[in-house]
Amino acid sequence: MPSYLEQKFGLHGRVALVTGSSQGLGQAMARALAQAGADVIVNGRDPAKLAPVVAELAALGAKATPIAADLGNRADVQQLIDQAVGWQGHLDILVNNAGIIKRAPAADHSDADWDLVLRVNLDGVFTACRAAGRHMIARGSGKIINIASLLTFFGGVTVPGYAASKGAVGQLTKALSNEWAGKGVNVNAIAPGYMRTDNTAALQADPMRSTEILSRIPANRWGEPGDLEGAVVFLASRASDYLSGHVMAVDGGWCGR
Domain boundary assignment for the chain: 4-251
What string of pLDDT tens digits covers the 257 residues of the chain? 788 888 899 999 999 999 999 999 999 999 999 999 999 999 999 999 999 999 999 999 999 999 999 999 999 999 999 999 999 999 999 999 999 999 999 999 999 999 999 999 999 999 999 999 999 999 999 999 999 999 999 999 999 999 999 999 999 999 999 999 999 999 999 999 999 988 788 888 888 888 889 999 999 999 999 999 999 999 999 999 999 999 999 999 999 98
Backbone angles phi, psi at 218, to 5 degrees: -55, -30
> How far, in Å, CA of 87 to CA of 75, rounded?
18
**CA-to-CA separations, 253 to 203, 219, 244, in angstroms, rounded:** 19, 7, 22
Q: Looking at the chain, list the stretches that DSSP marks H as alpha helix, in order from N- to C-terminal side.
A: 4-9, 24-35, 47-59, 74-88, 111-118, 124-139, 160-180, 201-205, 207-216, 229-236
- The answer to whether residue 162 is catalytic is yes
How far is CA 226 from each of CA 18, 82, 182, 185, 233, rounded to the nearest angstrom?
A: 15, 29, 32, 26, 12
Instruction: Please tell me the pTM assigned to this model.
Output: 0.96
Residue closest to 118 by CA, chosen among 78, 77, 175, 168: 168
Q: Packing angle between helix 160-180 and helix 124-139, nearest 10 degrees?
A: 10
Q: Does domain 4-251 have CATH number 3.40.50.720?
A: yes
